[in-house]
Amino acid sequence: MPTVRVRWVGFVALLVVLLVVGAFIGTLLDPDGSTWGFAVVFAGTYLLLVLVHEVGHVLPGWFFGMRWANLTFQFGASVRSEHRDGRDRTPSEQLWISLAGPGLHIAAASLGLTVFDRNGLSFAAWVGCLFALFDGVANLLPSGRRSDGWKAVAALADIARRTVRT
Ligand SMILES: [Zn+2]
């Protein structure tokens, strides 16, 4: 089993931001309901989907037989991992690892949008899924070097280069 660590600074920072945003949205959209109840359910749903995203990155690694020595959950960024066997990822492994995170993230958020209705705290979870869906889609766009979309495109370019060479 890998050693799992959580970057608590990132986690707490994200939690505070989500609670404030959730309280704001709750006041706006559900003025008669409990503001902090809304905030907690919103933040909890969003964080759960972040976790689903990170698990999505880990699953292909397991499938490819990678032994993860360390998994660090860096909230706001990504899972940082080290391999026990020390071998580098192949470009196609990297492609799957990059795509599976946002893929599972988007799938779970979309499922949540169909499951939760727009009443009370269920609405808070629905809004949390909506925000998480935007986040998942944004992450899939190759906007910056740290986005999963960028890593996927880089892996594809690597695969193409190797194909041309052989
Ligand atoms: Zn990711």
107-132 pLDDT tens trace? 999 999 999 998 889 999 999 999 99
How many angstroms separate the alpha carbon of residue 114 from the centre of ligand 1?
23
Model pLDDT, residue 84:
57
Q: What is the pLDDT of residue 132?
A: 94
d(CA 145, CA 18): 24
Domain that holds residue 87: 3-165
Output the CA 54–ligand 1 centroid distance in Å. 6
Question: 18 CA distance to ligand 1 centroid (A)?
Answer: 19
pLDDT at residue 10 in the model? 83
Looking at the structure of the chain, the number of domains it has is: 1
Question: 157: how many CB neighbours lie within 10 A of its CB?
Answer: 11
pLDDT of residue 159: 92
| pTM (two decimals) | 0.87
Contacts of 74 (CB under 8 A, 6+ apart): 7, 10, 80
Structure token digits, residue 55: 């698990």
Give pLDDT < 50 ranges for the chain: none
State the distance from the centre of ligand 1 to the C-alpha of 101, rounded, in angstroms: 5
pLDDT of residue 70: 74
CB 140 within 8 A of CB 148: yes
